[in-house]
Amino acid sequence: MFRNVAELVALAEEKGVKIAEVMIEQEMRVTKRSREEIFVGMEKNLKTMEDAVERGLKGVKSVTGLTGGDAVLMKKYIDSGKGLSGHTILDAVSKAVATNEVNAAMGTICATPTAGSAGTVPGVLFAVKDKLNPTREEMIQFLFTAGAFGLVVANNASISGAAGGCQAEVGSASAMAAAATVEMAGGTPQQAAEAMAIALKNMLGLVCDPVAGLVEVPCVKRNAAGASNAMIAADMALAGIWSRIPCDEVIDAMFRIGQTMPSALRETAEGGLAATPTGKRLEAEIFGDK
């Protein structure tokens, strides 16, 4: 039904429906499942995200000890009333971190679009939930909208850190969350596309350099950055600000950047933060000297 963002937006506008509806119809055609079956499947994803956020906010620690407890610290900071960035953004950050800390602790998460970027979309969704008061159905639609934009990226570029760096993982997740937030807030399909473009542009060139090759450092905190970036991009689009570079061209640029990125910066743990003295020390402590 759609191959790129331009076609996705055009379909939604032509039919006078949300992007979520376009994605649902595509799922029905491709999978031959009923609308109810597709909704039930996405509801399970939503529940998985919800459970991960709740578990992370209670406090978890990874086996290595590299990550854990930061979501709790952020929640306490929010509750103190001293936050500088505004409650909704900080709430998104805390919930994004909570989800990825659960992932690092070998808990169950929903890859969105990957495990390493699994915190950004739910972090934003459950933060704007308190702001926009959506129904459960609207929350599920949020995930279909995010999925539609993620599908375009997966088909035209990459959502793999090994293939395209962290721009392809957290960058894509941030863009997906931004677009879905715009739609939930009442924005147009085109505004959702603008939010996608703005968010992804802000994360172009982001490398994948996991310390010790683990999805912990800096992955967890990058999801925090992805969530906050998504919120800002959504607000910009809703304000009427548009990306001078069309969304599909931004996606193409991300793909080309990933293709030219050195392998040391694509999930190999051979460059970037993984190659710092502290990064090497932590790797030795975890796995022993090689």
Could you tell me what percent of the chain has a pLDDT over 70? 99
* pLDDT (tens digit per residue) in 91-110: 999 999 999 999 999 999 99
Q: How far apart are CA 276 and CA 290, in angstroms?
A: 16
DSSP 203: T
Please say if the pLDDT value at position 168 is more than 60: yes
Structural domain count of the chain? 1
Listed residue (145, 91, 87, 141) closest to 119, CA to CA: 91
CB 60 within 8 A of CB 68: yes
Question: Where in the sequence is the domain holding 184, given as residue range(s)?
Answer: 5-287
Mean pLDDT confidence for 9-24: 98
What type of residue is 124? Answer: V
Average pLDDT, the chain: 97
Please say if the pLDDT value at position 239 is more than 80: yes
Listed residue (194, 123, 205) closest to 171, CA to CA: 205
User: What are the structure tokens assigned to 37, written together?
Assistant: 């079956």
Could you tell me what percent of the chain has a pLDDT over 90? 99
State residue 259 phi and psi, 5-degree precision.
Answer: -65, -30
pLDDT category of residue 290 using cuts at 50, 70 and 90: low
Mean pLDDT confidence for 129-141: 97
Contacts of 234 (CB under 8 A, 6+ apart): 177, 178, 179, 181, 182, 185, 187, 195, 199
Listed residue (185, 178, 268) closest to 225, CA to CA: 178
| CATH number for 86 | 1.10.4100
68 beta partners: 61
Please say if the pLDDT value at position 289 is more than 80: no
